Amino acid sequence: MSVIILFMAGIAAIAGWWLSQQRLTAKPWLEEGVIADVRGDSAPAKIGLGVFLAVVGSLFALFISAYSMRMNMADWRALPVPRLLWFNTGVLVLSSIALQWAHVAARRDDMDGVIVGLGAGAAFAVTFLVGQLLAWRQLNAAGYFLASNPANSFFYLITAAHGLHLMGGLVALGRTTAKVWRGAEMTRVRLSVELCAIYWHFLLLIWLVLFGLLTGWAGDFIDICRQLLN
């Protein structure tokens, strides 16, 4: 459970910092009149996405916690990570870059750039998903079935969870693209594109962490976490 504890500590630090900006030492029983608030001017949707990312982060931190606890047991046999995952990782990086491109283009009011960025981002993301499916098939063909070892089970489970989140993102991306297609105002498009880009970068970050975990590089880090708490 060390990974989720560290994650929660991070969330607590952010929440603590935010609360420290909120005049929690105010004495409201002495204050009359309208007081200016220290609220940020971010769009509610952006704050909503931030909170949602915390939830998704918590979900994956828990998966990783479970992974690190289960991998210590005697029956764990690490599976060879398909080389295709390297290609997939590269494609996901490109997808993220494409959406960043769209975001920058939206800020410059460059509608063509937005369309190119969104299209390329979606194409790369779909390629990533197809690549993940192919990786599953390779593993299956090599005899690494879902239930034959916990390492395999975790591999399929975690990659599936990540893929499902990306598919959810594709739905949002589709809606954004439709908005652009219908010729919506740039101000509205800008926010949607930005939200998609943030979500994509976050899923890329999650994937890099998961990739490190699945290839075993993160083993040392997990050991350190375990030492810290045991």
Out of 141, 143, 147, 227, the residue judged to bind other proteins by CB under 8 A: 147
Out of 22, 86, 178, 216, the residue judged to bind other proteins by CB under 8 A: 22
In the complex with other proteins, the residue whose CB is nearer, 63 or 128, is 63
- Distance, CA of 201 to chain centre: 7
Number of residues engaging other proteins in binding (CB under 8 A): 56
Which DSSP helix (H) or strand (E) runs through 12? helix 2-20
Site membership for other proteins, residue 185 (CB under 8 A): no
In the complex with other proteins, the residue whose CB is nearer, 41 or 112, is 41
Q: Do 194 and 103 meet the contact criterion of CB atoms below 8 Å apart?
A: yes
Residue 92 beta carbon to other proteins: minimum distance, rounded to whole angstroms: 23
Site membership for other proteins, residue 1 (CB under 8 A): yes
Q: Do 169 and 203 meet the contact criterion of CB atoms below 8 Å apart?
A: yes
Site membership for other proteins, residue 24 (CB under 8 A): yes
Return d(Cα 123, Cα 108) in angstroms, integer.
23
Residue 161 beta carbon to other proteins: minimum distance, rounded to whole angstroms: 8
- Please name the amino acid found at residue 163: G
In the complex with other proteins, the residue whose CB is nearer, 28 or 183, is 28
Residue 50 beta carbon to other proteins: minimum distance, rounded to whole angstroms: 9
Return d(Cα 76, Cα 74) in angstroms, integer.
6
Inter-CA distances, 147 with 18, 19, 60, Å: 44, 46, 21
Residue 148 beta carbon to other proteins: minimum distance, rounded to whole angstroms: 9
**How many CB atoms are located within 10 Å of the residue 90 CB?**
14
What sign has the CA pseudo-torsion 99, 102, 108, 109? negative
Return d(Cα 110, Cα 175) in angstroms, integer.
19
- Phi-psi label, residue 93: left if phi above 0, alpha if psi -120 to 50, beta otherwise: alpha
Q: Which stretch binds other proteins (CB under 8 A): 49-57, 78-86, 187-195, 219-227?
A: 49-57
Site membership for other proteins, residue 228 (CB under 8 A): no
Residue 55 beta carbon to other proteins: minimum distance, rounded to whole angstroms: 5
Out of 11, 94, 126, 186, the residue judged to bind other proteins by CB under 8 A: 11
Residue 135 tokens, joined: 């990786």
Q: Which parts of this chain interact with other proteins (CB under 8 A)?
A: 1, 4-5, 8, 11-12, 15, 19, 22-39, 41-42, 44-45, 47-48, 51-52, 54-55, 58-59, 62-63, 65-66, 69-70, 73-76, 146-147, 150, 153-154, 157, 161, 230
